[in-house]
Amino acid sequence: MAVDISTPTPRATAEPARKTLAKKPALKPRRGARSSLALKILMAVTGLLLVGFLYAHMIGNLKIFFGAESFDHYAHWLRTIAEPLLPSGWFLWIMRFGLVVAVVGHIVAATILTRRARKARPVKYVHRPKVQGSYAARTMRWGGVIIVLFVVYHLLDLTTGTLNPAPAGSEPSARVIADFKAEQWYVTLFYVLSIVAVGLHLRHGLFSAVRTLGQRTARGERIARGAALLLSVVLVVGYLSVPFAVLTGLVD
C-alpha cells in the first residue's frame, strides 16, 4: 500500500557500489535483497488479485442499468455460485476469505518494505527524482489508508445495511439508490473521493507491478504506463457511473 514497489531495494541499490569497491561480482543476491524481492512479488500478486476483484465488482455493479430486478438477481446469484458442489453462500465466503488474505498480505508487505527503505535511506533520494518518488509513495500510502477506511464504511453500508438509509432488509438495489440521493450528497462525495483514490492507487500500483515482474525496457515502460492509466480510468468511470446515474435520475 505504502511503497513504490518498483523502487530498487536499499540493499539492491547499494549492491553496485559494493561491487565496484570489491571488483568482484556478487554471485548471489544477499538474503535481505532476496526477501525484499519476495515481498515485492507478494505485493504485485496480491495487488493483481485485488484488481481482478475490483473489475469483477465494477462490471457486476453495471447491472443496475438493466433495472433493479437484474441487479438484485445478480446479488442473489453471488450466493449461489458453485451450487450444488458447495452449499449456498460458501463460494462467497471463500472469496471473502481470499480477499482478506490478499489485503492483509498487501499491507504487511508494503509496511515492511517502507520501513526497510526508510532505515536504509538516512539521506533522502540522492539519485532518484526527489519530488516524483516521494509524491508517488505518499499518494500510495494515503490512498491506501482512504481505501481501507472506505471499504469498512462500504461493508457497513451496502453489505450489512447498518449505515444505509434504506429500511432494514431492503434489496441491494434499494440500498444503492438510497445512498446516492441528492440529499445524501456527502455519501456520494465520499464514494467519489474513495473511487478516485482507488484509481490513483491502481495506476501507480499496476505500473510498479509490471516492473517488479520483470519489465525493464523503455518501450515496455511506456506501454505499461499507458495500460495502467487506461485500466484505472475505465475502472473509475465504471464505478462512478452508478452514483451519477442515481443522482441524475437515470436509475431510480
User: What is the binding site for ligand HEM (CB under 6 A)?
Assistant: 54, 57, 61, 75, 78, 92, 96, 147, 151, 154-155, 158-159, 172, 176, 191, 195, 198, 239, 242-243
> Closest separation between CB of residue 8 and ligand HEM, Å?
29
Return the number of other C-beta atoms located less than 10 Å from residue 159's C-beta: 12
Q: How far is CA 252 from the centre of its chain?
A: 29
Total residues belonging to the chain? 252
The residue among 196, 195, 173 whose CA lies nearest residue 251 is: 173
Q: Would you say 14 or 229 has its CB closer to ligand HEM?
A: 229
CA 180, 182, 184, 188 dihedral sign is: positive
Distance CA(247)–CA(252), nearest Å, equals 9
Amino acid at 96: R
> Closest separation between CB of residue 139 and ligand HEM, Å?
16
Q: Would you say 71 or 207 has its CB closer to ligand HEM?
A: 71
Question: Which residues fall within 8 angstroms of residue 118, CB to CB, at 6 or more apart?
Answer: none
Return the number of other C-beta atoms located less than 10 Å from residue 44's C-beta: 22
> Closest separation between CB of residue 4 and ligand HEM, Å?
20
Ranked by CB distance to ligand HEM, the top (closest) residue is 75
> Closest separation between CB of residue 15 and ligand HEM, Å?
37
Dihedral-angle region of residue 160 (phi above 0 means left; psi in -120 to 50 means alpha; beta otherwise): alpha
Which of helix, strand or coil describes residue 63? helix
Q: Would you say 117 or 140 has its CB closer to ligand HEM?
A: 140
Burial readout 25-42 (b: 16 or more C-beta within 10 A, e: otherwise): eeeeeeeebebbeebbeb
Q: Would you say 191 or 207 has its CB closer to ligand HEM?
A: 191
Q: Would you say 183 or 219 has its CB closer to ligand HEM?
A: 183
Contact between 224 and 215 (Cβ < 8 Å): yes
Q: Which residue has the cell 526527489?
A: 130
> Closest separation between CB of residue 159 and ligand HEM, Å?
5
> Closest separation between CB of residue 49 and ligand HEM, Å?
12
Q: Would you say 33 or 198 has its CB closer to ligand HEM?
A: 198
> Closest separation between CB of residue 113 and ligand HEM, Å?
21
Q: Would you say 49 or 158 has its CB closer to ligand HEM?
A: 158
